Amino acid sequence: MDSIVREKIVTAANYDPLPVVLHEAKGVWASDRAGKRYLDMMSAYSAVSLGHGHPRILAAMADQAARLAVTSRAYHTELLGPFLETLVSLTGLEMALPMNTGAEAVETAIKAARRWGYRVKNISKDRAQIIVAENNFHGRTTTIVGFSSDPSYRDDFGPYDGGFRSVPFGDAQAVAEAITPETCAVLIEPIQGEAGIVVPPDGYLRDLRAVCDRHNVLLILDEVQSGLGRTGRWFAYQHDGILPDGLILGKALGGGVYPVSAFVATREVMAVFTPGSHGSTFGGNALAARIGSEALAIIADENLVERSAALGQYMKDRLRGIRSNFVTDVRGKGLWVGVEVDPAVVSARLVCDALLAEGILSKDTHGTVLRFAPPLTITREEIDWGMERVERVFGRALH
Ligand SMILES: *Cc1c(COP(=O)(O)O)cnc(C)c1O
């Protein structure tokens, strides 16, 4: 039976995949069983920022899996300390709590912020509020979808118990006006990924930092997608020269092979966690720590942050130079570019299907945005290969 049909019969329809069955992938290239090659311009939403099957990741993974993998945090290992030391030194923060998926690290941040609100800021019991942005994406748990503005993420998964207040993204004044004495934190993506790679006005994070300082509110940044080089800096907040109180990382931290996430924060924030207050059976296991450490080392050794900045600019310039009757905007930072299409002319999904036929893996978001987010290991020649095909599709009259 056809793999697509076979999958569909037994798999919940919570995704709507493009009609391709991937068989192998190495670096920036994936292929189907017939041997047709595709340039991966999606990188699994940045989880594969190091490229598929990075040899150093595979070697570290095999070595560590055979030595010591999952222990639970009931015991110490020699690997967790060094991994989190690297994370705190790269971020400029002080302590970290390892989890597995992005959503779990967001949940960790929410728990930390609320407890900090009650125990440090003295907010009355069960009254703490967190300010979030409209069109946010922070994952899929019931708490998180409760403050999503997208009905498809949120509808009929309630009841939702409040505790979140949504304001327009990119407007620091709106955050300032929404703050009350019961506000413990502002939780924000520096660039909104799933919303369509939405870049806020310059200085937004700097302004948020000042607002949070003025009102004794924590600034927590969700860099699950924007972090680890994607925007041309290690972390997107470095574009604004600020430091958040808490930082959420995931996706690329797992080297493209394993779920590794973390909440990183100041000592004051992390001090709210005491034994029993939070945990995860797999979080911070030896294999995860080894892979996370190797992923961070590769980003540094291969200058992936600098490459993302330079090649991202190159890719954006090339995309902006393409004549098309349906592209209305090209935006982004580093190797993370969103192309807005005019829905009156064509749907982003239709463009994705046309790109797929040309050998380009992309993915639409919200019907009108295509994303181009290749592994940070991509070369200029590979970008050229991709852009020639994108040019062909964008130059065509698609209906
Ligand atoms: C992907 C993503 C998440 C959720 O990560 P999962 O690993 O899918 O749980 C959270 N926040 C942002 C900004 C993301 O892009």
Neighbour tally for 100: CB within 10 Å: 21
Atom of ligand 1 nearest to the CA of 101: 7
Answer whether 240 contacts ligand 1 (Cβ < 6 A).
Answer: no
Active site residue 240: no
Answer whether 101 contacts ligand 1 (Cβ < 6 A).
Answer: yes
Answer whether 223 contacts ligand 1 (Cβ < 6 A).
Answer: no
User: Which one of 121, 251, 333, 363 is the catalytic residue?
Assistant: 251
Active site residue 207: no
Answer whether 45 contacts ligand 1 (Cβ < 6 A).
Answer: yes
**Can you tell me the distance from the alpha carbon of 189 to that of 336, in angstroms, rounded to the nearest whole number?**
14
Ligand 1 centroid, distance to 195 Cα (angstroms): 12
Q: Where are the domains of the chain?
A: 3-54+303-394, 55-301
> Nearest to residue 374, comparing CAs of 40, 53, 29?
40
Q: Does residue 286 carry a pLDDT above 70?
A: yes
In this predicted model, what pLDDT tens digit does every residue of 233-253 receive, in sequence order? Answer: 999 999 999 999 999 999 999
Model pLDDT, residue 322? 94
Atom of ligand 1 nearest to the CA of 102: 5
Q: What angle do CA 15, 28, 64 make, to 5 degrees?
A: 85
Model pLDDT, residue 162? 86
Q: Does residue 84 carry a pLDDT above 70?
A: yes
In this predicted model, what pLDDT tens digit does every residue of 8-62 receive, in sequence order? Answer: 999 999 999 999 999 999 999 999 999 999 999 999 999 999 999 999 999 999 9
Q: Does residue 1 carry a pLDDT above 90?
A: no
In this predicted model, what pLDDT tens digit does every residue of 357-392 receive, in sequence order? Answer: 999 999 999 889 999 999 999 999 999 999 999 999
> Nearest to residue 154, comparing CAs of 172, 136, 170?
136
Q: What is the 3-state secondary structure (H, E, C) of the chain?
A: CCHHHHHHHHCCCCCCCCCCCEEEEEECEEEECCCCEEEECCHHHHCCCCCECCHHHHHHHHHHHHHCCCCCCCCCCCCHHHHHHHHHHHHCCCEEEEECCHHHHHHHHHHHHHHHHHHCCCCCCCCCEEEEECCCCCCCCHHHHCCCCCHHHHCCCCCCCCCEEEECCCCHHHHHHHCCCCEEEEEECCCECCCCCECCCCCHHHHHHHHHHHHCCEEEEECCCCCCCCCCCCCHHHHHCCCCCEEEECHHHHCCCCCCEEEEECHHHHCCCCCCCCCCCCCCCHHHHHHHHHHHHHHHHCCHHHHHHHHHHHHHHHHHCCCCCCEEEEEECCCCEEEEECCCCCCHHHHHHHHHHHCEECEEECCCEEEECCCCCCCHHHHHHHHHHHHHHHHCCCC
Q: Does residue 399 carry a pLDDT above 70?
A: no
Tokens of 236: 């997107």
For the domain spanning 55-301, the CATH number is 3.40.640.10
Active site residue 222: yes
Q: What angle do CA 268, 271, 272 make, to 5 degrees?
A: 110
**Can you tell me the distance from the alpha carbon of 255 to that of 299, in angstroms, rounded to the nearest whole number?**
10
User: In this structure, which amino acid lies at residue 142?
Assistant: T
Nearby residues of 78 by Cβ (< 8 Å), 6 or more positions away: none
**Can you tell me the distance from the alpha carbon of 72 to that of 316, in angstroms, rounded to the nearest whole number?**
44
User: Which one of 83, 137, 164, 263 is the catalytic residue?
Assistant: 137
In this predicted model, what pLDDT tens digit does every residue of 93-123 receive, in sequence order? Answer: 999 999 999 999 999 999 999 999 999 999 9
CB 347 within 8 A of CB 363: no
Q: Which one of 46, 100, 137 would you pick to mutate in the ligand 1 pocket, going by the greatest count of ligand atoms within 8 A of its CB?
A: 137
Q: pLDDT band at residue 126, thresholds of 50, 70 and 90? A: very high
Answer whether 224 contacts ligand 1 (Cβ < 6 A).
Answer: yes
Q: Which one of 145, 225, 248, 363 would you pick to mutate in the ligand 1 pocket, going by the greatest count of ligand atoms within 8 A of its CB?
A: 225
Model pLDDT, residue 398? 66
Question: What is the average pLDDT score of the chain?
Answer: 97
Tokens of 199: 């870049």
Tokens of 117: 């609100």
**Can you tell me the distance from the alpha carbon of 169 to that of 134, in angstroms, rounded to the nearest whole number?**
6
Cross-strand partners of 243: none
**Can you tell me the distance from the alpha carbon of 68 to that of 289, in angstroms, rounded to the nearest whole number?**
11
**Can you tell me the distance from the alpha carbon of 46 to that of 227, in angstroms, rounded to the nearest whole number?**
9
Ligand 1 centroid, distance to 140 Cα (angstroms): 8
In this predicted model, what pLDDT tens digit does every residue of 133-155 receive, in sequence order? Answer: 999 999 999 999 999 999 999 99
Protein fold of 3-54+303-394 = Aspartate Aminotransferase, domain 1 (3.90.1150)
CB 308 within 8 A of CB 377: no
The size of the chain, in residues, is 399
In this predicted model, what pLDDT tens digit does every residue of 304-362 receive, in sequence order? Answer: 999 999 999 999 999 999 999 999 999 999 999 999 999 999 999 999 999 999 999 99
**Can you tell me the distance from the alpha carbon of 355 to that of 328, in angstroms, rounded to the nearest whole number?**
18
Q: Which one of 106, 110, 198, 237 would you pick to mutate in the ligand 1 pocket, going by the greatest count of ligand atoms within 8 A of its CB?
A: 106
In this predicted model, what pLDDT tens digit does every residue of 192-219 receive, in sequence order? Answer: 999 999 999 999 999 999 999 999 999 9
